[in-house]
Structure 1
Amino acid sequence: MNRIPLILSIILATCLAQPALSQDAAGFSNTVRILSFNIYHGATMKGDYDLDLIAGVIKAADADLVALQEVDFMTRRARGYDLATELGWRAKMAPLFGRAMTYDGGEYGEGILSRYSFIASRNISLPFTGKNEPRAALMVTTVLPAGDTIIFIGTHFDHTTNEADRVLQAKSINELLVGALYPVILAGDLNAEPGSTPIEILEELWGCAYDRSMPASTFPSDSPAKKIDYVMYYPRDRWKVISTDVICDSVASDHCAHFVVLELLSAPVSRNASDPLGR
């Protein structure tokens, strides 16, 4: 008796009898844990540059993607630290820094920390006027464990009382969506409250992860009185908000950290594939 064909037939029958496991069924998830955190150039409210304290806030959130604002890169003010790398090392996450401007012997701008590797990155200068500080949007492309590709953007809008620059910056962020190939998450300190013109401009296209009837305040951390830190998502029909939280450590930073869990949904069949905005 030829045993080899018999063995092969048993193996084949066994394989056919087992249902194929999707990536989700194998234990992967399409939920993404997002943290936006303005780190006050690493100084803490004691001015002691206790990076372990700041990293502790990040680690406690157990985020997958972190947008950091007010990030110094080797400035004298920040004792020569590359803050994104230092915090990434402490949190065991991949770091990336994007310069908004040169400052104090180094650079100042945005940071991103990620549990996943970056397959692409881009640092975009945002419009500003006069002597206002330059601002940037740091954008990365990454692949979730379930295999879906997403874009994550971290940014920090102008902080002055006149909202003119923030309006320009909001419009510039919306322009980034033209031709977007993948679902997008935006996180950052937008220095604008719900209902303001910059936020209304963004919400023309973005979904927002907060309760409009009762927005949770994020600033200042010792007595939060207004919401200026956000997590947004695009397109609205690709994301579901699972939970939101505001994490306030009054020593680690002058801002509370804004934490959001999102679920990436399957693409609706009815979406117009010929429209780059997916409308």
Structure 2
Amino acid sequence: MKLILPVLTAVLLALPCRAGEGPKPLRVVSWNLHHGEGSDGKQDLARIAAVIQSQEPDVVILQEVDNKCQRSGQVDQAAELARLTQLQYVFGKAMDYDGGEYGQAILSRFPLSDLKVHRLPGDGEPRIAISAQAESHFGPITIAGLHLDYGDPARQLAQAQVASAALLGVSNLPLVLAGDFNATPDSKTLEVFSQAPWVVVPKSGPAATEPAAKPEKEIDFTVVRGLRAVKPTVVVAEAVASDHRPIVTVFSKPE
């Protein structure tokens, strides 16, 4: 059975659409998980998984993910969320922490490969971007996650510049980048990702994402190269499961 399921998945992904139909849209969720701790102080990965599943995503880009840390019960959170959501996953370590590791993850209903961890400059908490290749129904695409510094605008800008160059250099494939930029829309950091070939996807409705209970700051974004957003990014009205609200963006192939 373990051998049959991957083969069946690959066959289904390769099946052509019916006449007159284009490829299905690509649904991407991004969420800072706060190591699974909600605004109520409780750690509950099942609650987080239920929110993710409610959005029916193809890809999920996660920040602040613990891997066997004492504070989160020594759970491999990426693996557990993959099990609960029945998605595949990769995890990228930013640093060793509390007896385990702390970093970012990507969940996907598509096969993932070629994980890269891009280390970003600056003192303080180590910051990274991660990227992996997904064999999507659009063909191969690059999925990337980002979590930038929050305390020093100059350091944050330098991290954004390094991340942009590194991610654009991974491949020429269509690229979806999302995460916690810790920067506002009018910041110099967002200017980095507002220049071609990047496009920052605008939001519709309430745009603030943090703190989750009563959002005041818009600091989580989706950025794209080589794909077209079907509609603006939406902030999910989830106020408890983490200290950020998740965002959802839907993409199609460019016409």
> Are 2:163 and 1:173 equivalent residues in the alignment?
yes
Runs of 4+ aligned structure 1 residues displaced above 3 Å come to none
> Are 2:38 and 1:47 equivalent residues in the alignment?
no
> Are 2:131 and 1:139 equivalent residues in the alignment?
yes
Identity of aligned residues (%): 34
Return the offset for 1:243.
4.2
- The amino acid across from 2:16 in the alignment is Q
- Counterpart contact for 1:215–1:227, Cα < 8 Å: no
Aligned twin of 1:17: none
Mapped partners of 2:187, 2:161: distance in 1: 14
- Counterpart contact for 1:222–1:248, Cα < 8 Å: no
> Are 2:24 and 1:24 equivalent residues in the alignment?
no
Could you give the per-residue CA deviations for residues 150-189 of structure 1, whole angstroms, max 9, x where no partner exists?
A: 00001111121x2122101110122121362201000100
- The amino acid across from 2:154 in the alignment is A
Q: Structure 1 pair 253/211, CA: closer, same or farther in 2 (3 Å)?
A: closer
Mapped partners of 2:114, 2:25: distance in 1: 21
Gaps of 5+ in 2: 1-14
Two-structure CA RMSD over aligned residues (Å): 1.9
Task: Name which one, 1 or 2, has greater alpha-carbon Rg.
Answer: 1
3-state SS of 2:71 partner:
coil
Mapped partners of 2:195, 2:160: distance in 1: 11
Q: Structure 1 pair 63/179, CA: closer, same or farther in 2 (3 Å)?
A: closer
> Are 2:237 and 1:265 equivalent residues in the alignment?
no
Return the offset for 1:101.
0.6
- Counterpart contact for 2:60–2:108, Cα < 8 Å: yes
- Counterpart contact for 1:38–1:68, Cα < 8 Å: yes
- The amino acid across from 1:218 in the alignment is T
Mapped partners of 1:193, 1:101: distance in 2: 26
Return the offset for 1:135.
0.9
> Are 2:82 and 1:108 equivalent residues in the alignment?
no
- Counterpart contact for 2:128–2:146, Cα < 8 Å: yes
> Are 2:193 and 1:202 equivalent residues in the alignment?
yes
Aligned pairs (5 A) from 1:4-19: none
Could you give the per-residue CA deviations for residues 116-158 of structure 1, whole angstroms, max 9, x where no partner exists?
A: 01132211111123xx100111101011124x11000011111
Aligned twin of 1:121: 115
- The amino acid across from 2:201 in the alignment is A
- Counterpart contact for 2:89–2:112, Cα < 8 Å: no
TM-score by length of 1: 0.80
Mapped partners of 1:24, 1:173: distance in 2: 36
Aligned twin of 2:234: 245
Return the offset for 1:43.
1.8
Aligned twin of 2:215: 224
Gaps of 5+ in 1: 1-21, 267-279
Deviates more, 1:69-78 or 1:25-34: 25-34
Return the offset for 1:215.
6.9
Aligned twin of 2:146: 155
